[in-house]
């Protein structure tokens, strides 16, 4: 069943989007200078429609430098395990760094600002040298082609350097977001079987040092037998324990290594990275991306959607721990030879003007962030951004969740001064690159819609039977009909789950994104939400089962059910129903609530902490024992119950679930910070 479409939520969404009538045409001025104008876009669409694989093959030849050219474009003989450009060989860091040395070696690749205000610039030549040094150091530590390297760093240039150093030698990186806790890090390292962990003494966030090495040590003490070496970057300078024989400082590891490293010429299908994301079971999925197809997707979408020109300064606020930071910090913009801004810290440190000050000070021209950040900063009032010169901005982007029209309009008017187009980009960890978005010089936008698929992407909305749904007010499953180069290849170590999760719903006919959507009369797509048990909190995916397992691992908890509740800033917040061992806690439960929230934070990371916890004697279940989540969702939202409760084993439980609310303690982090999903601001 389509979850969102079944309830009132869906009809409200459809109602609200049907009432959204505003459209914004690209200005003549923007269109005239854009890399892709309406005519070019139409030509690209025609070409892709005429020869899908041929279209991508042409781009792959033009955009990427191949050591060995490919002769096979798309191999679908093993569908749904598609491969692209399989007999071609290339190197990703070569395509992002070496290719620029002759023409823009001195151009700034990365401008970095740390939270304390320290600024560092790395030219393409310097970045290339640092990548080579670390690549050589990794080789010296025994890392070879195909080995996995886990990266657990703050958002500093070394995170980007580490990713490129891995791919330079054919090692597969797996970045773990620095906001994840030790157990989450341990699970991810163990699943990848990484040989080396690259971490730091810490990073700065909200004026505090985030103790990454302490968390890493804990993860390694509890497991991770595959890790042979830990390379530790000195960032905060605070004392850390170094385990002799295992731990090595970054600056010592690279000492004496050459600033040149011959790239490994790997096959296009060689895995570039693994990145874990939540699904509807308790175990996160290790999304496996390719090298050639992925890089092509990241590069062309950066060009098309962000319209980058030579003089632009591009700031994507996402941490490299999320896919957005992979495709639109580390890979796409560098492949294009752009200048990117990297900012380590909190958007509200020392105050809520930090993002706008960064835009002003570093002359940011293209800015890409998440709706949750926009909503949180919007709450602070217009006078905050009003203090800064934002006149350099020319294009704004949004990603991670549907952007509500109110936030869209504020972003447009207050941040964009009414002159910047907004690109609302729909995509996923799995898709590798943006699949649906306006092109800023060619597509009319409507607040709240990601508009239409990019050239070469055949997205559709289908009903339960797989038939295309074209009625404007009817939603369905969002699917992609044809394979595309930057799609995930499999789930690391679990191809069966890959097939089941993305392809089984319609017998392998299309890629099933897990979102519901509908199209309006102009063919514009409007994303309604997830159809599975996945929440979208501040643009980040959280599996309800992961949070439930974390709760149940607490000694006081017997059973738990987690649902999402709409939240003004975060989009959705975590609402947990908890059944305790022994008697149901009554009276002042604040201490237990705080303890359970902290517990979840320790197991998974701060973003997963439930906002609300409600205690009950038991959970509503069907006679076959399934938890009735839809019912719990309605209760959490305070909606009237319209579901059929006749199958409920214990109907009396309803009053209890509705009647006894134990409000969670006030947010520990200020609401704004929580909305920005510390320490990252976009998915
Ligand atoms: O539900 C959609 C939502 O985020 C999900 C993907 O999450 P993740 O893999 O963490 O990647 C986030 C960044 C690419 C999607 O299934 N989503 C992402 N972008 C949008 C969106 N929902 C609506 N509009 C968007 N622009």
Q: How many CB atoms are located within 10 Å of the residue 21 CB?
A: 8
Could you report the per-residue pLDDT of 632-647, keeping only the tens digit for each? 999 999 888 777 777 7
**Residue of higher predicted confidence among 405 and 119:** 119
> What pTM was computed for the model?
0.92
**pLDDT for 647:** 72
Query: CB-based contacts of 17: which residues, under 8 Å, 6+ apart?
Result: 448, 449, 518, 520, 526
With tokens 């197809």, the residue in question is 293
Contact between 328 and 303 (Cβ < 8 Å): no
* Ligand 1 centroid – CA 103 distance (Å): 36
- C-alpha dist (Å) from residue 156 to 121, 349, 476: 11, 17, 41
Output the average pLDDT for the chain: 92
Q: State whether the beta carbon of 400 lies less than 6 angstroms from ligand 1.
A: yes
The best mutation among 539, 605, 677 to test binding of ligand 1, ranked by most ligand atoms within 8 Å of the C-beta, falls on 539
**Residue of higher predicted confidence among 680 and 664:** 664
* Residue 646 burial by Cβ neighbours in a 10 Å radius (0-12, 13-18, 19+): exposed
The best mutation among 301, 541, 571 to test binding of ligand 1, ranked by most ligand atoms within 8 Å of the C-beta, falls on 541
**Residues 473-493: what's their mean pLDDT?**
95
* Ligand 1 centroid – CA 401 distance (Å): 5
Q: Using the atom order of ligand 1, give the atom closest to the CA of residue 434.
A: 14
**Nearest CA-CA partner of 539 in 632, 663, 402:** 402
Which protein residue's CA is at the shortest distance from atom 4 of ligand 1? 400
Q: State whether the beta carbon of 426 lies less than 6 angstroms from ligand 1.
A: yes
Phi and psi torsions of 659, nearest 5°: -85, -35
- C-alpha dist (Å) from residue 347 to 206, 354, 570, 674: 8, 6, 15, 11
**Nearest CA-CA partner of 371 in 447, 306, 298:** 447
**Rounded to whole angstroms, how far apart are CA atoms 323 and 321?**
7
Contact between 235 and 203 (Cβ < 8 Å): yes
Helical axes 52-63 vs 38-50, angle rounded to 10°? 120
**pLDDT for 630:** 85
Could you report the per-residue pLDDT of 536-572, keeping only the tens digit for each? 999 898 999 999 999 999 999 999 999 999 999 999 9
* Ligand 1 centroid – CA 536 distance (Å): 8
| For residue 637, cis peptide bond before it (omega within 30 degrees of 0) | no
Q: State whether the beta carbon of 371 lies less than 6 angstroms from ligand 1.
A: no
Q: How confident is the model at residue 19 (pLDDT cuts 50, 70, 90)?
A: low
Percent of the chain with pLDDT over 70: 93
**pLDDT for 281:** 76
**pLDDT for 273:** 98
Q: Is the pLDDT of residue 683 over 70?
A: no
Q: How confident is the model at residue 171 (pLDDT cuts 50, 70, 90)?
A: very high
Q: State whether the beta carbon of 324 lies less than 6 angstroms from ligand 1.
A: yes
* Ligand 1 centroid – CA 651 distance (Å): 37
Q: State whether the beta carbon of 277 lies less than 6 angstroms from ligand 1.
A: yes
**Rounded to whole angstroms, how far apart are CA atoms 21 and 507?**
37
SS3 7: coil
Q: Is the pLDDT of residue 418 over 70?
A: yes
The best mutation among 16, 180, 427 to test binding of ligand 1, ranked by most ligand atoms within 8 Å of the C-beta, falls on 427
* Ligand 1 centroid – CA 242 distance (Å): 39
Q: State whether the beta carbon of 278 lies less than 6 angstroms from ligand 1.
A: no
Q: Using the atom order of ligand 1, give the atom closest to the CA of residue 425.
A: 26
Which protein residue's CA is at the shortest distance from atom 26 of ligand 1? 426
């Amino acid at each position: 069943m389509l979850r969102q479409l079944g309830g009132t939520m869906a009809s409200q969404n459809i109602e609200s989007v049907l009432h959204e009538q505003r459209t914004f045409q690209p200005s003549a001025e923007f269109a005239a200078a854009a890399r892709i104008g309406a005519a070019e876009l139409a030509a690209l669409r025609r070409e892709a429609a005429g020869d899908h694989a041929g279209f991508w093959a042409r781009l792959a030849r033009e955009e990427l430098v191949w050591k060995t050219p490919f002769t096979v474009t798309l191999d679908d003989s093993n569908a749904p395990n598609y491969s692209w450009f399989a007999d071609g060989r290339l190197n990703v860091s070569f395509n992002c760094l070496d290719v620029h040395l002759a023409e823009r070696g001195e151009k700034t690749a990365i401008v970095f600002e740390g939270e304390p205000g320290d600024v560092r610039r790395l030219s393409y030549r310097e970045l290339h040298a640092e990548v080579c040094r670390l690549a050589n150091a990794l080789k010296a530590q025994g890392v070879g082609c195909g080995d996995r390297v886990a990266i657990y760093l703050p958002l500093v240039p070394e995170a980007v350097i580490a990713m490129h150093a891995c791919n330079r030698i054919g090692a597969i990186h797996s970045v773990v977001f620095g906001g994840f806790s030790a157990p989450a890090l341990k699970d991810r390292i163990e699943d990848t079987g990484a040989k080396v962990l690259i971490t730091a003494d810490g990073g700065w966030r909200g004026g505090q040092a985030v103790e990454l090495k302490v968390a890493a040590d804990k993860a390694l003490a509890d497991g991770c037998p595959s890790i042979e070496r830990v390379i530790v970057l000195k960032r905060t300078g605070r004392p850390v324990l170094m385990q002799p024989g295992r731990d090595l400082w970054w600056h010592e590891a690279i000492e004496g290594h050459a600033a040149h490293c011959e790239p490994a010429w790997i096959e296009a299908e060689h895995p570039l990275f693994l990145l874990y994301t939540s699904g509807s079971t308790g175990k996160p999925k290790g999304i496996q991306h390719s090298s050639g197809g992925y890089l092509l997707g990241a590069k062309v979408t950066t060009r098309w959607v962000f319209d980058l020109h030579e003089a632009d300064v591009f700031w994507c606020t996402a941490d490299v721990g999320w896919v957005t930071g992979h495709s639109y910090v580390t890979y796409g913009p560098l492949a294009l030879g752009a200048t990117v801004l990297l900012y380590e810290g909190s958007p509200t440190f020392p105050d809520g003007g930090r993002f706008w000050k960064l835009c002003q000070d570093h002359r940011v021209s293209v800015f890409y962030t998440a709706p949750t950040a926009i909503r949180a900063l919007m709450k602070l009032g217009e006078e905050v951004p009003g203090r800064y010169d934002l006149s350099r901005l020319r294009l704004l982007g949004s990603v991670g969740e549907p952007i509500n029209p109110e936030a869209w309009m504020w972003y447009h008017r207050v941040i964009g001064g009414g002159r910047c187009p907004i690109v609302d980009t729909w995509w996923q960890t799995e898709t590798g690159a943006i699949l649906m978005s306006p092109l800023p010089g060619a597509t009319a936008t409507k607040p709240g819609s990601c508009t239409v698929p990019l050239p070469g992407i055949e997205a559709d909305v289908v009903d339960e039977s797989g038939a295309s749904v074209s009625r404007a007010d009817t939603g369905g499953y969002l699917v992609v009909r044809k394979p595309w180069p930057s799609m995930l290849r499999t789930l690391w170590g679990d191809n069966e789950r890959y097939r089941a999760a993305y392809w089984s719903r319609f017998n392998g006919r299309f890629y099933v994104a897990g979102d519901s959507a509908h199209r309006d009369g102009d063919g514009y797509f409007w994303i309604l939400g997830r159809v599975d048990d996945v929440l979208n909190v501040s643009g980040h995916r959280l599996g309800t089962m992961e949070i439930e397992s974390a709760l149940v691992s607490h000694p006081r908890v017997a059973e738990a059910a987690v649902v999402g509740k709409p939240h003004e800033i975060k989009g959705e917040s975590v609402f947990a129903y908890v059944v305790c061992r022994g008697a149901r806690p009554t009276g002042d439960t604040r201490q237990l609530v705080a303890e359970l929230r902290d517990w979840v934070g320790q197991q998974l990371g701060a973003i997963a902490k439930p906002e609300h916890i409600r205690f009950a004697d038991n959970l509503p279940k069907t006679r076959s024992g399934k938890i009735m989540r839809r019912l719990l969702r309605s209760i959490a939202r305070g909606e009237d119950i319209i579901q059929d409760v006749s199958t409920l084993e214990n109907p009396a439980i309803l009053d209890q679930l509705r009647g006894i609310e134990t409000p969670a303690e006030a947010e520990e982090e200020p609401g704004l910070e929580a909305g920005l999903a510390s320490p990252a601001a976009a998915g």
